[in-house]
Amino acid sequence: MCSLFLQGDDGLDIVQELQDAGFARVIVLDGAECGVPDVGSLVLALWPYAAERTPMTGEAWVHPYYFASQAAYVAADNIARRHSGDGVIWREDIRLKPIFARLPGFAQGRNTISSLSGCGSRFHVQMLTVTPAMAPTHHLEAEEHPLRCGDCHLCERACPTNALEGGVFHRERCLRNWQVGGTVYPEEVRRQMGTRLIGCDECQRCCPHNPAPEGENAPMPVTLEEIMRSPKEAAVALRRHIGATVTMPNRLLMGACIIAGVTGRRDLIPHLWRHAGSPSAAVAEHAGWALMELGVRYIPPEEPEIP
């Protein structure tokens, strides 16, 4: 677990509340120094999450980052609402990577993910701005840090879709990019999905700056069958755990169809057949593809003749 930064008297209540809510590290920065001159302080609150082994079943799984990010969002939003009259505002419109690039102890890897010395890259960050200014815990360095990676190149070799080929991040190949994008997955990406509904983690799993995965994956609140039978209801059930952004019903359904095809879930053929006729072209494409993977050719019903 990351050690906590010590705080001065200014703003101690906010910092303590964040720590009490579950944030393992709270960083207070000068707003102007971070390129946000209209606020006194920028507060970064880091929520860690455990590294869990990927389940080897035919069921879908969600990367633990998303469970952590939702818990952190709820905690930070509650604190911001409680102190809205005190100049505390929850923010998501400030770019973090340029700040991390100059923040002591932080560095970026080839996968573009930032890591913290002693903690690795398994954390989520919530941002608050506070006016008037609090006493900063840290100041940004003048120059950006070099890549932390060295010459191991493990993440490049581990990525299932070669999204880090040549030491450069190719967003269009990244599994997560397609999982949250809502558009038709390229076929070469579909075949690398495995049971990943949202998230991947291969580049972090092999990183020598991170601890090895331990423990079992958190149980999924919904099953593949539930997603395919009632996507809207499944999205609502999952949304409580990982938030609204990544739980749009059709996006979940597209991922579920791919997983069904990749893992040989013939018990889901009736649901795939129904969704192959979906009014959503993207859902229909993925359901039809999954049927073909399972050895079933979808034949659309004939259109009735219009008298």
Amino acid 249: pLDDT: 96
Residue 213: what pLDDT?
Answer: 77
Q: Where are the alpha helices (DSSP H) in the chain?
A: 12-21, 64-82, 97-100, 154-158, 175-179, 187-190, 202-205, 224-229, 231-242, 249-262, 269-276, 281-293
What are the residue boundaries of the structural domains of the chain, listed by start?
Answer: 12-130, 161-199+221-293
Q: Does the pLDDT value for residue 270 go beyond 80?
A: yes
Q: Report residue 72 as tokens.
A: 């952190």
Check whether 12 has a pLDDT greater than 60: no
Query: Mean pLDDT lowest for which of 34-43, 159-168, 208-217, 244-253?
Result: 208-217
In angstroms, the CA 148 to CA 9 distance is 34
β-bridge pairing 61-62 and 196-198: parallel
Q: What is the pLDDT at residue 44?
A: 97
Q: What is the mean pLDDT of residues 11-25?
A: 87
Per-residue tokens: 164: 């880090």
What's the confidence (pLDDT) of residue 217?
Answer: 64
Rg (CA), the chain: 22
| Mean pLDDT for all residues in the chain | 89
pLDDT tens for residues 141-179? 999 999 888 788 999 999 999 999 998 899 999 999 999
Mean pLDDT of 18-40: 94
